[in-house]
Structure formats: C-alpha cells, structure tokens
Amino acid sequence: MNLTLRIWRQSGPDAKGAMTTYEVTGISPDMSFLEMLDTLNEDLILRGETPVAFDHDCREGICGACGMVINGQAHGPERTTTCQLHMRHFSDGDTVDIEPWRAAAFPVVKDLVVDRSAFDRVIGSGGYITAPTGSAPDAHATPVPKDAADAAFEHAECIGCGACVAACPNGSAMLFTSAKVVHLNVLPQGGPERESRVLDMVDTMDAEGFGGCTNTGECATVCPKGIPLASITTMNREYLRALRKGA
Ligand code: FES
C-alpha cells in the first residue's frame, strides 16, 4: 500500500519543528510500523536527505523506547507498543500523522526522539529495595504471599514507555510512578523503604514537571502493558499512610 506520512521534523532541542510530508510506497500490511519508517529512511538516505530520527531498541515490546504519537494516539490505533503495531491497521491511501510525545517533562531531542530521563530520576529516587551484599539468598528464603506476588508482577510489567504521560491532558506521570511504587511496596522485600519510597518518588515526579492527575483515565487506556488505573489509588493510599507515619 501507499501512504502519505506527515512527520514532525525538528533538528535539535532548541530548533523550531514542523510537520513535513512524505510519500511511502510498497508498504506491506505485515510490516511493523517501525519497518515502515525504516523503508522511508532508506528512501531518504538514497535521496541524500536526513533520515527521520526515532527511538527503538528491542522491537519486541519490552524496552519501552519506541514511543510516538500516531494519528493523535500514543502508540497508534492498537493498544501495544509502536514496534508491535502492524501496518494492517492502516489502509492504502491513508494519511498518517506521526509526532513525538508531547509533554513538558519529555523535551524533544530530535524529530520523534524525546528525553525520557525524568523517568530514570523518578526510579532513582526510590525504585529499589534494601539488598544485603554477599551470595544470593536461598529461593523462598522470604515467603511472599500469592496475592502480593501477583500484584507485584502486574505492576512490574510497566516498561516506562511514557505513553501514559503522552496521553494525559495534564502530562501526568501518576500511572508510571504508581506502577513503580506499588510493585515494590506490596512485597515484603520492599518493606524497609515503603514510606520513603512513595514520598521520594512522588516528590521527584512533581519536581520533574509532570502534571497532576485529574482522573481522566487516558493513561490506563493507552498503556501497552495494561497497568490498571487503580494503581494510582493504591499509590495515593500509600502516600497518605507514609505521611501519617511521619516518614
Ligand atoms: S522498541 Fe522496545 S518496546 Fe518498542
């Protein structure tokens, strides 16, 4: 199929960006969205033009690097990562708008690439557990209740792609931060930092310029890993509990 692409081009963080139109031809419905962009970039290189910069790594829906807004939706029309989106969701002759994540805390580096290091700083402020050095402990040395293990696994699925922030009208990172807080706070191993973790991670989230949550729920709608909206409620409860304890 043949497509018209309107892509955000921006040569650097301080440069003025604009939507630029390209035509791509011979796109297979079985291609991934990133393979379609590879095809465009091969054409651009052959024509002596600068290829479109976009982030990617695993191309398997694991690393979270490949975020972009496609026709106004974070990761496009399917609830998955951009690398797992396939061109069968588009039709011959379609016009497709492709933009970077739009959020104050995710400044554009180039074209479709944004700086998501604010997420790293949120994790660095509390997304860890106290781990004694030495040899690995025996398996099951710390019993973990089944419901706690299930909740931890559910929240640990967050890949930090940033779609939740991009979809939120406030640019809020509450879903991301709550996934990281809850997945450790529900485990016995996360107990020693339970209070400081939630307070520090929420403080860092606010300091990084993410907006507040007004319960629009867009974040959970686009999350490719299905992190539930209720995670935010759990984090708010953990936050109030920590304040009450005077941590
Ligand atoms: S490239 Fe890793 S999740 Fe898409």
Ligand 1 contacts CB of residue 63 (under 6 A): yes
Please report, to the nearest 10 degrees, the dihedral formed by the alpha carbons of residues 200, 159, 182, 147 taken in order.
-160
Of ligand 1's listed atoms, the one at least distance from the Cα of 161 is 3
The contacts of residue 75 (CB under 8 Å, 6+ apart) are: 67, 68, 81, 82, 85, 161, 163, 222, 224
Per-residue pLDDT of the chain (247 residues; tens, 9 = 90+): 999 999 999 999 999 999 999 999 999 999 999 999 999 999 999 999 999 999 999 999 999 999 999 999 999 999 999 999 999 999 999 999 999 999 999 999 999 999 999 999 999 999 998 877 788 778 788 889 999 999 999 999 999 999 999 999 999 999 999 999 999 999 999 999 999 999 999 999 999 999 999 999 999 999 999 999 999 999 999 999 999 987 6
Ligand 1 contacts CB of residue 62 (under 6 A): yes
Of ligand 1's listed atoms, the one at least distance from the Cα of 64 is 3
Residue 95 gets the label, from left (phi > 0), alpha (psi -120 to 50) or beta, of beta
Ligand 1 pocket test target in 54, 66, 113 with most atoms within 8 Å of CB: 66
Q: Three-state SS for 19?
A: strand
Q: Model's pTM, two decimal places?
A: 0.94
Of ligand 1's listed atoms, the one at least distance from the Cα of 56 is 1
Ligand 1 contacts CB of residue 75 (under 6 A): no
Ligand 1 contacts CB of residue 37 (under 6 A): no
Ligand 1 contacts CB of residue 66 (under 6 A): yes
Q: Given 3-state DSSP classes, what are the helix, strand and coil percentages for the chain, each rounded to the nearest 5?
A: 40, 15, 50
The contacts of residue 65 (CB under 8 Å, 6+ apart) are: 55, 56, 57, 58, 161
